[in-house]
Homo-oligomer: A and B are copies of this chain.
């Protein structure tokens, strides 16, 4: 996977810099562990997909605070550059344990844990969240489209409405990981070795005198199988023109028509009938236009004769859940487990592991627990001493892992409408530690100020 995010160390929230500087000045450089997880699944999600981990590892590999960065930090903090000297040359030499790209993950499960000297582990927070959050959201959305299509090919047409070109590139990669058959994104297809797919726009048809002339010219340019967009003026006249051109040029093999507006299910039925009557049973029907997993599910359930689903905008931005409730929380510092207690956002302390049983029945436990019988640990050590210690994930590997994990989910979690999320349980040692730390905090931090309660 190429590194499309070229963000530097100044692509961060200001408070990371303030805190890192303070830690350095206070000589608080003992190892800290931060855990990145999603607190709750968005509505209509039964699972999430680990994604963005490789983008984080790329970033950490090149992470180093240069003099220019210090100047930028100093201006942001309105402090003299000299005050920020401790930040100069800071790089990342810690450890990253993470769930490899493509695996199913559940609410509350650590996707990634970073253990590094506190200033380093803090300074990378914003980038970690930025990448993990949106990639995880989009990957899960893509998987749901594949599930909705029940075996029919799904392709990615999202680039024109993703939040920028970086997001578009990542959407193409994530859609491939989820099992899409191709993408319209030429740069991403080239970089990731994916099938590039595409047809023609309405503007193409409009630029010619009529549809038949347009389709004929398109076929001349396009020596391979052609797909004609038939709904520029009127879908049935478009299908008729497509049928005549396919016959006239003897180009029916591998050909398709695309429907992009109106009642796609009804139009597909009429188009199919017209094509069959025109003795073109081999010509496929591609549907596009505002599709997402809900629309695909409804069309497939209704038996629409659609052969390929092209999804775009709503999937590329994960329109119904464009973010996940992710967190990057300090869980241990200098050997001491820590946690946050504030209302509705309690975090469990300590370095963790996820133990996966059959059917994605997971137990969240402590990293040093023995795996319960019949489970395997999900988090793997991917970086040690700031250096990758595992081969870069290939898209093929991630895709295979993803398919296996999704197949292993209970059917209710895979449902398109009202999915039932699988819930991870908590191991006895983790539960006991959480209780211990809570009591320690209540004693040490809260009790002295009880009179304010």
State whether A200 touches B18 (Cβ < 8 A): yes
List B contacts of A166 (CB < 8 A).
163-167
State whether B330 touches A207 (Cβ < 8 A): yes
Q: State whether the Cβ of A241 lies closer than 8 Å to any Cβ in chain B.
A: yes
State whether B130 touches A200 (Cβ < 8 A): no
State whether B333 touches A323 (Cβ < 8 A): no
A333 to B79, CA, bound (A): 57
State whether B322 touches A202 (Cβ < 8 A): no
In the complex where A159-B13, A186-B11, A341-B233 touch, is A211 in contact with B25 (Cβ < 8 A)? no
Q: Which of A93-149 contact B (CB under 8 A)?
A: 118, 122, 125-127, 129-131, 133-134, 138
In the complex where A11-B185, A168-B130, A445-B233 touch, is A343 in contact with B262 (Cβ < 8 A)? yes
State whether A14 touches B131 (Cβ < 8 A): no
Encoded as 1 (CB less than 8 Å from any B CB) or 0, chain A from 166 to 200 comes to: 11111000000000000011110110000011111
Q: State whether the Cβ of A161 lies closer than 8 Å to any Cβ in chain B.
A: yes
Which of A312-320, A364-372, A403-411, A420-428 lies at the interface?
A: A312-320
Which of these, B203, B239, B329, B449, contacts A329 with CB under 8 Å? B203
A388 to B235, CA, bound (A): 41
List B contacts of A433 (CB < 8 A).
none
In the complex where A170-B164, A234-B341, A236-B452 touch, is A6 in contact with B6 (Cβ < 8 A)? yes
A138 to B130, CA, bound (A): 17
Which of these, B72, B122, B159, B162, contacts A12 with CB under 8 Å? B159
Q: How many copies does the complex hold?
A: 2
State whether B340 touches A240 (Cβ < 8 A): no
Which of these, B14, B186, B240, B330, contacts A13 with CB under 8 Å? B186
Encoded as 1 (CB less than 8 Å from any B CB) or 0, chain A from 317 to 355 comes to: 111001100100110010000111111110000000000
State whether A445 touches B237 (Cβ < 8 A): yes
Interface residues on chain A, size class: 35 or more
List B contacts of A344 (CB < 8 A).
261-262
State whether B221 touches A21 (Cβ < 8 A): yes
Chain B, Cβ-Cβ closest to A79: B223
Q: State whether the Cβ of A61 lies closer than 8 Å to any Cβ in chain B.
A: no
List B contacts of A23 (CB < 8 A).
207
Chain B, Cβ-Cβ closest to A137: B163
Chain B, Cβ-Cβ closest to A188: B11
State whether A7 touches B186 (Cβ < 8 A): no
Which of A26-34, A249-257, A296-304, A376-384 lies at the interface?
A: A26-34
Chain B, Cβ-Cβ closest to A263: B343
Q: Name the 6 nearest CB pairs between A and B, nearest first.
A: A14-B198, A15-B198, A76-B196, A203-B330, A163-B163, A22-B221
List 15 A–B pairs whose Cβ atoms lie within 8 Å, in order of A's numbering.
Answer: A5-B164, A12-B185, A13-B184, A14-B186, A15-B199, A23-B207, A76-B189, A122-B203, A130-B161, A130-B164, A202-B342, A231-B343, A236-B452, A239-B452, A317-B317
Other than the given A13-B198, A22-B217, 7 more pairs (CB < 8 A) read A12-B187, A25-B221, A166-B166, A233-B340, A237-B445, A241-B449, A318-B322
